[in-house]
Amino acid sequence: MTAPGLWHQVQQGTWFVLFLVCSLLVFVLLGPYRPLTSGWLDVAGRAAVASGFVVAALLSRRSARYGPYWRVWFAFATACIAISVDYMLSLSKWILPALRIALESPAGLAIDKLESSALSVLIVLLLTLVSGEDLRSLYFRRGNLRLGLAVGLIAFVVVIASAIPVTEGFFNGRDLSWARILPWTPWVLIFVLANALNEELLFRGLFFGRLAPFLGPFAVNLMIAVPFTLFHTGVEYTASFMVFAGMLFPLSLAWGWLLQKTGSLWGSVLFHMAMDIPIALGLFSNLNG
């Protein structure tokens, strides 16, 4: 291996580690399921991290050497702001009472997820436009739609066929039957669509195109899969997080591969929706309503 080739690999590895640390800071330490701090310290920490990334983006954009990296730093700022605003506002505590819907119901959980995801998605879209980027940079484009739809629909068929045993085995499903599940269908679809679109946009749509020029397709997929998996640390809808993580990590790689293969967000969103169905069924089955 030539010296320039070795130096390029060292640089690529260094950026990989740096970007991974930044993603763990944003998605794990400041994540919604088990944030590192609480109260005013949490608010100050989120503001400081987001501001730091914005400053890094502005300085990089003015630099001849580091100019190409400004989009990465702004993406981290965008993700931090979206997660934090959603976490701190919690608009459902006003929306659900106004609609006279209990949170502890299939409709309540679905609307709560829809509100949370819509707010996060809106912030990502607005900040992307403010930065001067096109929404196509978030993989909101047609791409190879046929492949994306084919993989997503196959996933739906497989998941629906095995939904009851998978939900009962891995997601604390209780007293499940198709007679009980079918009335939940609209709320399940709202729940899984909102969650899948939000997470695919926040992790893969926002970062893949911005990181790939510096890391390459495989490395960027791996780098996103790690924080995506650990982002879910603290979830309460699975009996064993280690088992859940063992399923989630390869799924994350698969969703990333599909996005890269199709050049579009839609296939990975559909695939992700399918895999979230047992989670929604498990949550709904443990409600009193």
Report domain extents, the chain.
3-92+99-285
Radius of gyration over alpha carbons of the chain, in Å?
Answer: 20
pLDDT at 234: 85
Query: What is the pLDDT confidence band of residue 6, given thresholds at 50, 70 and 90?
Result: confident
Phi, psi values for residue 174, rounded to 5°: -135, 130
Query: Could you read off the pLDDT of 204-262 as tens digits, one per residue?
Result: 999 999 999 999 999 999 999 999 999 998 888 998 899 999 999 999 999 999 999 99
Structure tokens at 194: 């909102």
Instruction: Report in angstroms the alpha-carbon separations of 193 from 19, 60, 273.
Output: 28, 36, 6
Q: Rounded mean pLDDT of 169-179?
A: 96
To which H or E segment does residue 109 belong?
A: helix 106-130
* Contact status, residue 259 vs residue 56, Cβ threshold 8 Å: no
Q: What is the pLDDT of residues 64-102, one digit of tens each?
A: 989 999 999 999 999 999 999 999 998 998 999 999 999
Rounded CA separation 210/254 (Å): 19
Please write the tens of the pLDDT for every residue from 102-158: 999 999 999 999 999 999 999 999 999 999 999 999 999 999 999 999 999 999 999
CA dihedral 79, 208, 193, 133 (to 10 degrees): 60
d(CA 267, CA 46): 32
pTM of the predicted model over 0.75: yes
Query: Do 139 and 208 form a contact (C-beta atoms < 8 A)?
Result: yes
Q: Give percent of the chain with pLDDT exceeding 90.
A: 87
E strand or H helix that includes residue 168: helix 163-170
- Whole-angstrom CA distances from 261 to 147, 193, 253 are 9, 21, 12
The C-alpha atoms of residue 182 and residue 178 are separated, in whole angstroms, by 6
Whether residue 289 has pLDDT greater than 70: no
